[in-house]
Chain A
Amino acid sequence: MFPSNFEYFAPTTLDEALGLLAEHGEEAKVLAGGQSLIPLMKLRFAAPAVVIDINRVAGLDHLEESKRGRGFLRIGALVRNATLERSDLLADRYPTMATAAPLISDPIVRNQGTLVGSLCHADPQGDFGSVMLALDGEVVVKSTAGERRIPIKRFLDGPFTSTIRPDELAVEARVPSPEGRFSGTYLKLERKVGDFATVGVAVFVSTERGKVTRAGIGLTGVGATNIKATEAEAALVGNRLTDATIDEASRLAAAAADPRTDVRGSADYKRDVVRVYVARGLQELSGARAA
């Protein structure tokens, strides 16, 4: 497994990186963690003429909460998944992401892999796409022309396709800070450590006086992209988490899934696991809420 030749740049500043993208964008790939890009290059599914390695760019490794507006979490493009896995901030405030992080690939891959890179890779079996959908996150992209903030639902465009332009660099992922009482979790069915999800389910709810004010449900591995189960979310908002509402939401989430039969399981099986996992996730959250 030997990648094709390419021209390599290792910029040290953001401006330098954006300049290189402006010049080479169409034929370039950005290298951050490299844990999806490099395997693709080894298999020669990808053969970029230019690789722009942003690992030496200063100022992209921030993981912090901003208090601006209603507040949001900022995850820089060089924040490694291992950092997310060990983050107290995530464990306290962003439980959906915190529970997903240790389930991404394996610990060694997590030492390199990044959340932002994973979003750009837009693998429908990527776990963080679902987390971001459940949390209504957005991706901040920059180019020499300026900055765009793209809601995750518009960012993920299809299997392995995002709406980032070739001259743009994804510099940060953002997630709105939770309000009121909140909880979240990520459930993943995988055959073995490091395997892609047979089914993954991200759930998030915030409540006020027992009623759901915000609900987020993202599905992994059961469609051409990560899926935001909007009808299931809508069914929860304004209601209490009861057996009946949970059943209804999990049924709607299963209906939103569009899985394919493959070696990991039949379409029917995967759809039913979505139902079970959404119900389990919500039950877990309702338990947490009661506590």
Chain B
Amino acid sequence: MTATEETAAESAPEKPLDWLGQSIKRKEDDRFLAGRGHYIEDIDLPNMLHMAILRSPYAHATINSIDTTEAAALPGVVAVVTGELLAQHNLAWMPTLSGDTQAVLATDKVRMQGQEVACVIAEDRYVAHDALELIDVDYEPLPAVVNPFAALEEGAPLIRDDKEGQTDNRVYHWEAGDAAATEEAFLEAHKVVAVDTHYPRSHPSPLECCGCVADLNPASHRATIYMTSQAPHAIRTVFALVTGLPEQNIQIISPDIGGGFGNKVPVYPGYVVATAASLLLGRPVKWIEDRTGNLISTGFARDFHMKGELAVARDGTMLGVRVKMLSDQGYAYADAQPSKLKAGLFHIVTGSYDLPAAHVVCDGAYTNKAPGGVAYRCSFRVTEASFLIERLVQNAAVELGLDPAELRRRNFIQPEQFPYTSATGFVYDSGDYETAMDMALEMAGYDELRAEQQRRRTEGGKLLGIGLASMTEALGAGPSRDYDILGIKMFDSAELRVHPTGKAILKLGVRHQGQGHETTFAQIVAHELGIPPDDILVHEGDTDNTPYGLGTYASRSTPVAGAAAAMVSRTLREKAKKIAAHLLEVSEDDLEWEHDRFSVKGAPSQTKTIQEIAFAAYTNHPMGMEAGLEGVHYYDPPNLTFPFATYVVVVEVDPETGEWQPIHVVAIDDCGVRINPMIVEGQIMGASPRASPWPPCRRSPSTTTATASGPTSWTT
């Protein structure tokens, strides 16, 4: 060994950190902490106009006339847009993400309260709202249908009389599982436990409402549309189809998003009108939704009326489950979900249990309500399914006189059964449900809790409620053979460019809204290539500058786009290996990779770091090889992924008033590899309180919000 080599060996860094699994602080935080986040309302373009929307006070009414004369004459008002004007440009209706149609501005009728009827475009927001009061709409109210069961009754008012061939209010009928096998299983049952429940309509209610700034430059013909969208690429395609603008001229930019939770997936009339107005007026048009508009008209979640039956044997063995579900779709079928799966992944309703037979019948009905049906903090309709099966199991436990934990234990799919094909056709990848439940029970002190619960029942005072749920989710949509939105397959994508100085930019087709992508995805690349996360810029939400992707919703970004980031990193590593071999003048086979460098096998001091290789990729790459260190990967997942969890929630209940307060929550989640545990735990802590409005099933017509006085203790 030469002296030089010795020195090099001595000064070699310690074994470098693997960035996977590190709770590093979030890269995106600094701008938000400084008040320098860049949200839709912060965008201010020269010569920009402001738009305000007039909404229908009626749930169902014929529009006889709309008089905009006075509004248009108000100083500061530039234009008043009505459905009639849009119809002249063939823009009065638009497609929904489920292939239905939805009015942009009402022409013939309004079909929900809050429906968009006219828009004012003005120099100033205050003036735009002044003008709304001057628009005179002559409505003739019609009977409104707000109950999906009533909507499907014979003689119910036909809501979608605009649709050719639509003779009733049925949106879809969809089935999964095996009806005959399930009937047979029920014949064997010792007991059939039933639940008839409504998981009420809810609203994701991100703190930031929706909005857009549409800037159609009449000179360049470019349409730059800033928009609160969780799925900018899909929106670009929809916009190209709706407006007829060439897709290359449309750039959708999703700036920082103040929470989405599914609410910012659909296409909303406000986006389309603002775009049309900018096109017609040649000036940027900004529309910022108010909270009333957000709650009354945008993508809701849930609203499933569910009848479930669970067949159990005398010993508690579950034999089969059958479900009839009626979904209240509002006046348009605008669920953001795979086209083949009319009720999303609701057929995962067999849950964590080895249920040999299942049959799920789903119907959707039009009602005079807002359309939506978004995946609110979950995968497509999985929450509804979990709610139903866990309620059935709870009721079965009561009816059989078994502890709910024990009944679950007797029926969990066992670790050796994976991969497990469920009765409705899912192939669960892996799981260890009993271990998760045991951990949860132990952390909660389940046996003591049950004793305490008993004690309180006899002694009086506040009662103790102990909720137990063991979920299996299906997420990461999805494999292209089964999953698409409007025909676009549910792949996602990542483009990675490593610059000559060894710094990188990762561009993704998804768009985060607080989930921490800028950190998590940097860690994925760091893990694969050894470039520190601080040296990686994660860029999302700009359709000109990121590869096509389906967006961030339904718990799919990390399993799909995250996988794409890993895959593209590996591709670059392969190229890096060729460059390293060239630089070190050895064969590729003689190289081994460790963390951030290739070393010559048996001569560990002969190394090239990823930074050195990146530099060489632009300055000294092998003859015949393309320069640069860049790549793009479109990832098509082979299957969904099936994380599981057991939660124990303890609440105190005032038996006289029904007031209740969660006092302890234990969440055991198996989400697979935790890329950044701090962020993972943050997501779980953030999601869990969202469940708190549901146990009492508050049928709020608008929204529910968690309070600041949440649970007093957490374990994750």
Contacts and interface: CB of A to CB of B under 8 A. Distances in A.
Direct contact of A and B (CB under 8 A): yes
A263 B699 contact: yes
Contacts of A38: none
Interface stretch (A1-9, A70-78, A85-93, A241-249): A1-9
Interface of A: 1-5, 43-44, 189, 191-193, 263, 269, 273, 276-277
B133 A44 contact: yes
B288 to A, nearest CB: 10
A263 B709 contact: no
Given A1-B291, A1-B292, A276-B657, 18 more contacts: A1-B129, A2-B125, A2-B129, A3-B126, A4-B130, A5-B126, A43-B292, A189-B657, A191-B698, A192-B705, A192-B707, A193-B707, A193-B708, A193-B709, A263-B698, A263-B699, A269-B658, A273-B657
A17 B700 CA distance: 43
B656 interface: yes
B659 interface: yes
Contacts of A189: 657, 659
B467 interface: no
Interface in B51-75: none
Nearest to B692: A192
B153 interface: no
A276 B656 contact: yes
B290 A1 contact: yes
Contacts of B658: 269
B701 interface: yes
B709 A5 contact: no
A43 B129 CA distance: 10
A3 B129 CA distance: 8
A282 to B, nearest CB: 14
A193 B705 CA distance: 10
A interface: dominant SS = loop
Nearest to B658: A269
Contacts of B290: 1
Interface in B555-589: none
B126 A2 contact: yes
Contacts of A1: 129, 290-292
A146 B102 CA distance: 61
Interface in B658-716: 658-659, 698-701, 705-709
A106 to B, nearest CB: 9
The 7 closest A-B pairs by CB, nearest first: A192-B707, A2-B129, A2-B126, A276-B656, A263-B700, A273-B657, A1-B290
26 contacts: A1-B290, A1-B291, A1-B292, A2-B125, A2-B126, A2-B128, A2-B129, A2-B130, A3-B126, A4-B130, A4-B133, A5-B126, A43-B292, A44-B133, A192-B705, A193-B707, A193-B708, A263-B698, A263-B699, A263-B700, A263-B701, A269-B658, A273-B657, A276-B656, A276-B657, A277-B657
A4 B133 CA distance: 10
Nearest to A192: B707
A58 to B, nearest CB: 32
Contacts of B657: 189, 273, 276-277
Contacts of B706: 192
A37 B205 CA distance: 25
A179 B699 CA distance: 46
Contacts of A2: 125-126, 128-130
Contact of B130 (A5, A276, A277): A5
Interface string B125-145: 110111001000000000000
A194 B33 CA distance: 26
A147 B223 CA distance: 64
A44 B290 CA distance: 13
A192 B661 CA distance: 11
A287 to B, nearest CB: 15
Contacts of B129: 1-2, 44
Contacts of A44: 129, 133
Most chain A CB within 10 A, of B133, B656, B708, is at B656
Interface in B83-135: 125-126, 128-130, 133
A277 B654 CA distance: 12
Contacts of A273: 657
A262 to B, nearest CB: 10
Nearest to A280: B656
A44 B658 CA distance: 36
A84 B705 CA distance: 28
A264 to B, nearest CB: 9
B305 to A, nearest CB: 19
A116 to B, nearest CB: 28
B568 to A, nearest CB: 45
A59 to B, nearest CB: 34
A188 to B, nearest CB: 11
A263 B659 CA distance: 15
B694 to A, nearest CB: 13
Contacts of B126: 2-3, 5
Nearest to A194: B707
Contacts of A263: 698-701
A277 B657 CA distance: 9
Interface in B278-293: 290-292
A40 to B, nearest CB: 13
Nearest to B709: A193
Most chain A CB within 10 A, of B128, B291, B698, B706, is at B698
A3 B290 CA distance: 13
Nearest to B127: A2
Nearest to B290: A1
A1 B294 CA distance: 12
Contacts of A192: 705-707
A2 B699 CA distance: 30
A143 to B, nearest CB: 32
A273 B126 CA distance: 43
A88 B265 CA distance: 52
Nearest to A4: B130
Interface string B619-647: 00000000000000000000000000000
Contacts of A5: 126, 130
Contacts of B707: 192-193
A1 B699 CA distance: 26
A193 B128 CA distance: 33
Contacts of B659: 189
A133 to B, nearest CB: 22
A219 to B, nearest CB: 15
B252 to A, nearest CB: 27
A4 B698 CA distance: 35
A285 B547 CA distance: 68
A4 B129 CA distance: 8
